[in-house]
Chain A
Amino acid sequence: MNQRLNLSAGPHVRDRWTTPFIMMIVLIALTPAAVIGVVVHWVKFQSLNALWIILASVGSAMLTELLFCLATRRKITIWDGSAAVTGLLLALCLSPQTPVVLPIVGSVFAILVVKCCFGGLGKNFINPALAARCFLLLSFSNGMTNYPGVNELGVDALSSATPVAMLKAGSMVNVTKMFLGTAGGVIGSSVLALLVGGLVLWGLDVIHGEICFSVVGGFTLCLALFGGHGFDPGYLAAQLCSGGVIMGAFFMATDYTTSPVSRLGQLVYGCLIGVLGALFRILGKSADSFSYSIIIANLFTPLIDLYIVPKPYAYRKSAIEKAAGVVKPPLLKRIPKPVIALTIIAALAGVALSGVYSMTKDPIAAAELAKKRESFKVVCEDAADFKDVDAAQKALDALEGGSYGGGKFGTTVIEEVYEAVDTSGNTVGYVFSVTNRNAYNPPLKLALGVDPDGKILKIAFIELNETPGKGSKADEPAFKDQFVGQTDTSAVDTMSGATVTSKAVLNAVNAGLDFFRNVIMGGGK
């Protein structure tokens, strides 16, 4: 009995869960989404690019951490798995068509700058994967906005007020695809897979329900109240299934390090993300607003943790009253009557508003359609009415709202095509609404009128957010009147100092002309 005995302080037993084990569970929970992303992209484009992105991202994240540890002579920490999780999360929120170099750059940024330079695991102040994504978006916007299918999961198609397209295409079809992850967009776009993974994590107590459900709840409620569509399930479902909301709520916002520790703090933090995300969706232009709202909330976390500290049970008011023997009336009687009254009134008002909304939904849609047609009249002055073109509609449906021309015109989406007829029913031309996403501050949206011979009647801008004094000159007659009467754009002079904008306009117009020649005329003959 004289051998050496260990003398460390108790407790002398430990739980089996370790940091690497938790990270492994998170990786497993993300696997279905990753697999679906890779498979969908392969089936659609016979390309394994999504897989290479995932491998490059995870590999470079781990390698960066290894090199940092070696360079700074620290304990090698790559096997705790957190670098792998960061790499995978980053990969899942990139488009499968992203050049493979971008995830590598992003992972290096995430691990080296955001994580290691701030002290490594548990010390980063914002979510490394999201920070890297935003870094890439700002630095390499061309490579980053190259989406197959619906641009950014159709976020913009939905949020930048084209309910017409939504109503026309039947939003439910779209939502189902987005839910399953076959609609395109980022690699980790399968809401179903993410939900399954997220709920498993929640069930295993790996992530806090206080965060993920308050994010989703705050987001939904805020959209319902201020989104202009009330509690329309189609609209809310489309919003929830798009733009990384579920990914953000279950995998990004719940990052331990950058979220508050207390339950109340977590609720506040989650609601902040949800509300910010919804407001950005309603008011903002960026399709990546949800990433930004999580990062902003990350920055509030230290503040929340400093001030929201729950008292131990014994110091809470209820415990003190109970210890003192105070007998309380039942819960309902303790709520002041005005609160009950106001709650009931608010609930009734909400129901009434929803009712009004659903009653006026169709008239409003009709009015918006009329307005739209009015704007088409600008580019085709002789038109009295606009008719659907079957061949065009078929082609658009086949694209599922995706980019037209396979990249020939950049990321350009043809949204609507109508045949313009005069009062006696003769065809006087065709009108298009075209959106290009490669402008300086996308989207750039224009209406294009073409006569039956393929000559441009006129172009007009529906949405133009370019730099005032530079790209904004596109809307001046000096530039846009050059198009009138042309059958191609070779004679059009680009604007000096606004080449990006010029190129975007030309791409949009060329896409429209190409569509006219190949689909409408080609299909018509």
Chain B
Amino acid sequence: MRDTFRGGVHPNERKELSRKAALRVFDAKGEMVFPLAQHIGKPAKAIVNKGDPVLVGQRIAEADGFVSANVICSCSGTVKAVEKRRTISGAMQECIVVDNDGKYTETGDIFDQPLRVDNLTNEEILAAVKDAGIIGLGGAGFPTHVKLAPKDPLAIKYLIANGAECEPYITCNDQLMRGYAAEIVEGMEIVLKLFPAAQGVIAIENNKPEAIAAMKKAANGHKRIRVLGLRTKYPQGGERSLIKVIAGVDYPITKLPADVGCIVDNVGTIYAIQRAVVYHEPLFRHVMTVTGEAIKEPSNFIARDGTSFAELIEAAGGIKDGVEAKKIISGGPMMGIAVSTTEVPITKTTNAITVLTSDPVETADKKMTACLHCGRCTTVCPNGLMPQMMADAVAAGDFERYENKLYGLDCISCGSCTYICPAKRPLTQTFKQTKAEIMARKRAAQGGKK
């Protein structure tokens, strides 16, 4: 089997900063903020009011519609407000704010002893996943109970646990796999029950030999699960890249992985499923990395949703003396979002806080030249797109060519083209805007017809 996909880039990994830091549980002290829209789909509906007492594991907002997910409280205390607060994206969003009493009293629904899962039906498993508010922890945040219920479960050939962790700096999944290998394998077995024809593959980039060894050991004896070491290359951990390698299939943006017989879940999601099904523990905490050149003690945490960036950075020793934090990124440097303030809460999908002492984007902007037509972007695009031609089409305002001839809507915004560009052109950024513009125009056109 191939161990990688076509294209891709090799950004400086910088995982050595935090890869040796074992997972630490971090309990926040300050107020906790829970945005209602942490997932793809419709925002959840708040089911608590100001002044209500809440406990750890309590559902405070309910899925609204099919593609939506519950929001779970990660602390105990009282609801301070349901109001608009600033979130990672920079926008003001509806959030439930909880005054944390610091006691972390649990609801009592979470089991101490593992539940026997052999006799659970598929419906019971899916219900447990849905109740736990689990969404894809890889970053996109697609509600997992929707993903695990494709039209034809028998058509699923591969269940892929994504432990590639190709984003530079981030090491939390590495630590999760090292520390909770057996739990992840059990989670895989639970999900595999839903897909009788599927084979389980745990895909890990080979820059994490300890994690590969731990997972191989845990998977030993599990006939339907194997561990696959992948070449270290960004975006190896992209859903499409994994499917290309494992199932050997390329598919257009209009299709879902399930359409080509694959389900891809982050190892963190698989672990959350195991917790939800076996211990009835909903998703209110997850692994994440606080790292970067500016951080004193880069760490891997099991952090509670709603904790502010400021508290987590403080928990990692704070900013190093004598350096200035130039840029704070929610996530890794390739696909993460820069935040304007540390007074924003982490959500279920926040897998890292990366604090940089310099801003490569700023430096790159100063070095920007005209496009050379060197074609490096076309070589690295994992989907075989022609970023250079796409940028030309956008510059010429030719959206028709962008969409139909160049398949510009198939861009997954992985950032490889921007990364590699010697002329330092903001390619990915342009494509994101253009895609949004084309989609907006389409919606406007449809609205006009009606």
From A10-18, A152-160, A387-395, A403-411, give the one contacting chain B: A10-18
Are B374 and A256 in contact, CB atoms less than 8 angstroms apart?
yes
B20 sits at the interface (CB 8 A): no
Cβ contacts under 8 Å, A19 to chain B = 367, 369, 372, 422-423
Please determine whether A8 and B407 come into contact, CB atoms closer than 8 angstroms.
no
Residues of B377-406 at the interface with A, using a CB-CB cut-off of 8 Å, are: 378-379, 383-386, 388-389, 405-406
Nearest CB on B from A235, distance (A):
35
Question: What separation, in Å, do the CA atoms of A262 and B319 have in the docked complex?
Answer: 46
Check A12–B338 contact: CB distance below 8 A. yes
Contact of B429 among A7, A9, A14 (CB under 8 A): A9
- Cα A22 to Cα B373 with chains together (Å): 12
> CB-CB < 8 A to B420: which residues of A?
15, 17
Query: A77 vs B333: C-alpha distance in the bound complex, in angstroms?
Result: 29
Nearest CB in chain A: distance from B134 CB, A: 26
* Contact assessment for A259 and B373 in the assembled complex, using a CB-CB cutoff below 8 Å: yes
Q: How far is the CA of A205 from the CA of B380 in the complex (A)?
A: 12
What distance in Å separates the Cβ of B117 from its nearest Cβ neighbour in chain A? 33
Q: List 21 A-B contacts (CB under 8 A).
A: A1-B325, A6-B362, A9-B361, A9-B426, A9-B429, A12-B356, A13-B360, A15-B9, A121-B369, A208-B375, A257-B373, A261-B375, A309-B386, A309-B406, A311-B384, A311-B407, A313-B250, A313-B383, A314-B250, A315-B252, A319-B250
Q: Which residues of A in the span 279-313 have a Cβ within 8 Å of any Cβ on B?
A: 305, 309-313
A83 to B62 Cα, complex, angstroms = 63
Complex: how many Å from CA A3 to CA B359? 14
Q: Is there an interface contact between B383 and A10, defined as CB atoms closer than 8 Å?
A: no
Q: Tell me, yes or no, whether B335 is within 8 Å of chain A by CB.
A: yes
Complex interface: chain A residues within 8 A of B371 (CB):
122
Asked whether any CB of chain B lies closer than 8 Å to the CB of A323, the reply is yes
Please indicate the chain A residues that have their CB under 8 angstroms from the CB of B285 in the complex: none
B172 interface contact, C-beta 8 A:
no
Instruction: Please measure, in the bound complex, the distance between the C-alpha atom of A429 and the C-alpha atom of B378, giving whole angstroms.
Output: 69
Partner of A11, one of B244, B334, B376: B334
Residue of A nearest to B253 (CB): A314
- With an 8 A cutoff between CB atoms, is A361 at the interface? no
Which residue of B339, B362, B386 is within 8 Å of A262 (Cβ)? B386
Contact B372 A10 (CB under 8 A): no
Which of chain B's residues have a CB closer than 8 A to the CB of A21?
422
Report yes or no: B405 in contact with A8, Cβ–Cβ below 8 A: no
Q: What size tier do the contact residues of chain A reach? A: 35 or more
Quick check: is B260 within 8 A (CB to CB) of the other chain? yes
User: What distance in Å separates the Cβ of A469 from its nearest Cβ neighbour in chain B?
Assistant: 48
Partner of A261, one of B248, B336, B388, B407: B388
Does A99 have its Cβ within 8 Å of any Cβ on chain B? no
Report the 8 A-B pairs with minimum CB-CB distance, sorted nearest first: A11-B415, A313-B384, A12-B333, A314-B250, A122-B370, A319-B250, A313-B250, A8-B361
Chain B positions within 8 Å of A5 at CB level: 325-328, 338-341
Pairwise interchain contact A12-B250, C-beta atoms closer than 8 A: no
Known interface pairs A14-B418, A14-B419, A15-B421; 8 further A-B residue pairs with C-beta atoms within 8 A, sorted by A's residue number: A5-B327, A6-B362, A10-B335, A13-B334, A15-B11, A123-B370, A256-B373, A313-B6
Q: Is the interface of A mostly helix, strand, loop or mixed?
A: loop
Interface flag for B275 (CB, 8 Å):
no
Report A's interface with B, CB cutoff 8 A.
1, 3, 5-15, 17-19, 21-22, 77, 80, 119-123, 205, 208, 256-257, 259, 261-262, 305, 309-316, 319, 322-323
Instruction: Assess whether B329 is in contact with A312, with CB atoms less than 8 Å apart.
Output: no
Which residue of the partner chain, among A3, A12, A18, A323, contacts B367 with CB atoms under 8 Å?
A18
Question: What's the Cα separation between A365 and B149 when bound, in Å?
Answer: 81
Residues of B within 8 A of A323 (CB): 249-251, 260
State the CA gap A18–B354 with chains docked (Å): 25
The reply to whether the CB of B256 lies closer than 8 angstroms to some CB of chain A is no
Q: Are A11 and B251 also in contact (CB < 8 A) when A121-B372, A309-B405 are?
A: no
Nearest CB in chain B: distance from A270 CB, A: 14
Asked if A12 and B359 sit within 8 Å, CB to CB, the answer is: yes
CB-CB < 8 A to A14: which residues of B? 360-361, 363-364, 418-419, 421, 424
Q: Given A13-B334, A312-B410, are A6 and B361 neighbors across the interface (CB < 8 Å)?
A: yes
Is B310 an interface position by the 8 A CB rule? Answer: yes
* A15 CA to B168 CA, complexed, in Å: 13
- Specify which of A15, A17, A22, A315 lies most central, judged by the most chain B CB atoms within 10 Å of its CB: A15
Question: Quick one: which of A3, A10, A17, A319 has the most chain B CB within 10 A?
Answer: A10
B12 beta carbon closer than 8 Å to chain A? yes
In the bound complex, residues from chain B placing their C-beta under 8 Å from that of A18 are 367, 369, 422-424
Bitwise, B342-366 to A at CB < 8 A (1) or not (0) is: 1000000000001010011111110
Q: Is the CB of B384 within 8 A of A310?
A: yes
CB distance from B31 to the nearest CB of A (A): 17
In the complex, are the beta carbons of B326 and A13 less than 8 A apart? no
Q: Which of B354, B378, B422, B432 is A15 in contact with, Cβ under 8 Å?
A: B422
CB-defined contacts of B319 to chain A, threshold 8 Å: 1
Residues of B contacting A312 in the complex (Cβ-Cβ under 8 angstroms)? 250, 252, 383-385, 407, 410
User: CA–CA, A278 to B11, complex, Å?
Assistant: 43
Q: Closest CB of chain B to A262's CB: distance in Å?
A: 7
Query: Which A residue's beta carbon lies closest to that of B381?
Result: A312
Q: Quick check: B378 and A8 within 8 Å, CB to CB?
A: no
Contacts of A17 in B (CB 8 A): 376, 420, 422
Q: Which of B252, B385, B420, B422 has the most CB of A within 10 A?
A: B422
Q: How far is the CB of A377 from chain B (nearest CB, A)?
A: 59
Q: Which residues of B contact A261 (CB under 8 A)?
A: 373, 375, 378, 386, 388-389
| Residue pair A11, B340 in contact (C-beta under 8 Å) | no
B428 lies within 8 A of A11 (CB): yes
Could you say which residues of chain A place their CB within 8 Å of the CB of B378? 261-262
CB distance from A465 to the nearest CB of B (A): 39
Closest partner residue, chain B, to A312 (CB atom): B384
Q: Known: A122-B371, A256-B372, A323-B249. Contact between A12 and B360, CB under 8 A?
A: yes
**Nearest A-chain residue to B388, judged by Cβ:** A261
User: Chain A residues near B338 (CB, 8 Å)?
Assistant: 5-10, 12
The interface residues of chain B lying within 8 Å CB-to-CB of A11 are 11, 333-335, 415, 418-419, 428
> Are B329 and A12 within 8 A (Cβ)?
yes
Contact residues in A for B210 (Cβ distance below 8 Å): none
Query: When each residue 256-289 of chain B gets 1 if its CB lies under 8 Å from chain A and 0 otherwise, what string results?
Result: 0000100000000000000000000000000000
Closest CB in chain B relative to A165 CB, distance in Å: 43
Provide the bound-state CA to CA distance between A208 and B337, in Å.
34
Given contacts A11-B428, A14-B361, A121-B372, contact A22 B422 (CB under 8 A): yes
Asked if B324 is at the interface (CB within 8 A of a chain A CB), the reply is yes
Least CB distance from A184 to B in Å reads 34
B251, B253, B326: the one contacting A6 at CB < 8 Å is B326
Task: State A22–B337 Cα separation when bound (angstroms).
Answer: 30
Max chain A C-beta neighbours (<10 A), residue from B361, B378, B405:
B361
A314 touches B419 (CB 8 A): no
- CB-based nearest A residue for B314: A1
Interface pair A13/B325, CB less than 8 Å apart: no
Q: Which residues of A contact B310 (CB under 8 A)?
A: 1
Q: Which of B250, B333, B419 has the most CB of A within 10 A?
A: B250
Min CB–CB distance A317 → chain B (angstroms): 11
Q: Establish whether residues A1 and B342, one from each chain, have CB atoms under 8 Å apart when the complex forms.
A: yes
Tell me the complex Cα distance, A13–B428, Å.
13
Tell me which residues across on chain A come within 8 A of B372, comparing CB atoms.
19, 22, 121-122, 256-257
Instruction: Select one of A12, A123, A257, A311 contacting B361, CB under 8 A.
Output: A12
